[in-house]
Structure 1
Amino acid sequence: METSNHARPGLTQRWAVLALLALGVLISFVDRTSISSTLADADFIRHFALNDVDRGWINAAFFWSYGAFQVPMGWVADRYGVKWPYALSFALWCVATALMGAVTALASIVVLRLVIGMAEAIVIPASYRWIRNNFDESQNGLAVGILAMGNKFGPALGAPVGAWFIVHYSWQVMFIATGLVGLLWLVPWLTFVRSDFPSNRKSRSRIAARVRSASAAS
């Protein structure tokens, strides 16, 4: 539903969306850290004939694009709102994660890791923007604390989940499963989160005024 007036959602919906944001952060960390399990898997190393330098390239690729796109993704969230940029980026990194189970060349792995890093760069700017626009200042600390839980539980789950899939199935299944299962998050996100796209110049001016007011108050 379009919300050109940018009215806040109800109390229950606000906390439900915050839970989705925390879960989104958790999924992003699972998808980015599961690679650590594959880099320790002998079959994966043999498949790509990896040496230590190659493994370093794979690990580093994510952080190059993730760091480079933090500012552009922050601009995207400000310009186009949170709902749709987050949804498109989320779908992109999940599909890229799943595709890692089908590639056969080191270069393809590196490229997909770059794509995942670029897409996941939306997570923190968009999440903080949504919290700022939908929670009172007196609740911001609690909301950010709940969001931060995803930052911690994601890495804690990513490596063991990846290892479990590798031990019981294969590294290919691990990538495909974690990527495709993550897409389920989009169902409640697209269903329950209101569109906050600044649809016209007047609504964008209201947002800018709110940002200036918040900056002056701080």
Structure 2
Amino acid sequence: MSEQPLTRVKAKSTGRVRFMVLGLVFINIIINYMDRTNLSVAATQMAGELQFTPLQMGLIFSAFGWIYAALQIPGGFIIDRFGARVVYGVGLFLWSLITALHAVASSFGALIGLRLGVGAFEAPVMPSNNRVISSWFPEEERASAIGIYSSAQFVGLACMTPVLFHVQDLYGWRGLFLITGVAGMVWALVWYCLYREPLEHKGVSQAELDHIRDGGAILESRQEAAKRKFVWSDLALMFRSRKLAGIYFGQFTISATFWFFLTWFPTYLVQYRHMDFIKSGYIASVPYLAAFVGVLLAGFVSDRLIKRGVSASFARKAPVILGMALTLFILGANYTNDPTLIIVFMSVAFFGNGLATITWVFVTALAPRHLIGLAGGVFNFTGALSSIVVSIAIGALISGDNFAPALAFIAVLAGLGICSYLFVVGRISLDPPEHPTQDEERAAR
């Protein structure tokens, strides 16, 4: 019997509840990034109506990241303590409510405050996603699962960006925020009703539990997690590892490209490349689709290499390094005025960013098992810092009609990320390091 039929039989015999959970996470992320990118769609009209300068818009773009980054580490611990069902559900509802309140904002200060609110309640999102996948998927399926849920941010941007442009064209930027906010509040209730941890899900079979447990998934009841207390030594552990530090910095550089596309890219097309507003909505979706293909390709190819016996170090790192190398193509847009070539260069760069986005797999591989949420919080904290730095830096670097220094800045960061993965992270293993429990540590002392 061929390998492919065997794989299908195995998937059927072990159950498919984990794939339903992956589907819920996929939709969560589409909602999440819809509520992040709506500001970039609204930016040109909003700035004109409220008379904001490029630097002021850069500050508004970055305000999300100030609190989002600051709360990543606490958010990671909260996920470990209370679980994704409650934390994700409450956060999703509240950030969507605040998104809807953007519709009544009329000043720079009000928009800064609202973006801070969205950032605060979105803070646990990525640690939650990583925790859910670490709980529901065995190691051999994990990069594919990460690739699928990470692709949601790109397919969401690709599909939703033209829709958001049309919504704004019909209802204005205030109507855009109101409609996207209400959609998120409705979905938050759906998530809370449907999601459960593996040991608490009534639909999961014993065969599927055994499959994910034997494959290295983290199965833990809420009662067990509730006993965990925060200790500063856990946080210190997150920074003592050179490899963890390497992936933290690498995530900052990878996220820099992503945040350019999430914030300034529509403005770049409309204001600096003088493209039609509605047409820009469709044009902007092309690089997003390229990134979608990139992240799916990276996840499935990486898992395929693992199953074929290729070293984990190569299988996991190769898509990341290749992806960041392709990101350097963003510089090509500085040397042409042809709209088609501009989109080609941008699409290659964002395809590369998609390839590199499977980096969450390193959190599971390098962090102690009982601190996956905390490690995810630190990891996403460094990525979130780029939302602050990139948004403000681009606002400061652009001058008149010259956007070239901003794109050069993104390329330099990508080059530094390549160096981090090559020379700081080095070789990796699939086995997370063992770490003594708190009781064992106290006994040892």
Same fold (TM over 0.5): yes
Alignment partners' CA distance in 2, 1:62 and 1:103: 16
The residue number in structure 2 matching 1:6 is none
Equivalent of residue 211 in structure 1, options 370, 374, 389 = 370
Q: Which moved more, 1:79-88 or 1:185-194?
A: 185-194
Residue identity opposite 2:148 in structure 1: I
Cα-to-partner distance string for 1:127-180 (whole Å, 9 max, x where unaligned): 111111121222212211111111212332453333211111211110000110
- Return the match for 2:38 from 34, 37, 43: 34
Within 2, Cα distance between the matches of 1:55 and 1:204? 44
Cα separation, partners in 2 of 1:203 and 1:137, compared to 1, 3 Å: farther
Alpha-carbon shift at residue 105 of structure 1 (Å): 2.0
Equivalence for 2:132: 130
Runs of 4+ more than 4 Å apart: 195-199, 201-205
State the shift of 1:202 in Å. 8.0
How far, CA to CA, are the matches of 1:188 and 1:51 in structure 2?
40
Task: Extract unaligned runs of 5+ from structure 2.
Answer: 1-13, 201-219, 229-367, 372-430, 435-445
Distance 1:64 1:203 in 2: 29
Q: Which residue of 2 aligns with 1:81?
A: 83
Aligned to 1:116: 118
Give the aligned length.
202
2:185 corresponds in structure 1 to 183
Assess, with a 3 A threshold, how the Cα gap between structure 1 residues 202 and 90 changes in structure 2: closer, same or farther: closer
After superposition, give the CA deviation of every residue in 1:33-82 in whole Å (9 maximum; x if it has no partner): 111121111xx234423122221111111122222222111111011111
- Residue 103 (structure 2) pairs with residue 101 (structure 1): yes
Counterpart in the other structure of 1:62: 64
Cα RMSD between the aligned structures? Answer: 2.5
What TM-score do you get using the length of structure 2 for normalisation? 0.42
Q: Quickly say closer, same or farther: Cα 1:152–1:36, change in 2 above 3 A.
A: same
Q: Who wins on radius of gyration, i.e. which is larger?
A: 2
* AA partner of residue 178 (structure 1): T
TM-score between both structures, scaled by the size of structure 1: 0.82
Is the aligned partner of 1:193 residue 2:410? no
User: CA offset at residue 216 of structure 1?
Assistant: 3.9
Shift of 1:200: 3.8
Q: In structure 2, what is the equivalent of residue 144 of structure 1?
A: 146
* Distance in 1, Cα, partners of 2:222 & 2:146: 27
Check the 8 A contact 2:34/2:160 in 1, yes or no.
Answer: yes
Q: 1:31 to 1:201 in 2, by over 3 A?
A: closer
Identity %: 28
Query: Which residue identity does 1:96 align to in structure 2?
Result: I
Relative distance call for 1:211 and 1:103 in structure 2 (3 A) is: same
Q: Secondary structure at the match of 1:215?
A: coil
* Equivalent AA in structure 1 for residue 432 of structure 2: S
Q: How many Å separate the matches in 2 of 1:203 and 1:33?
A: 35
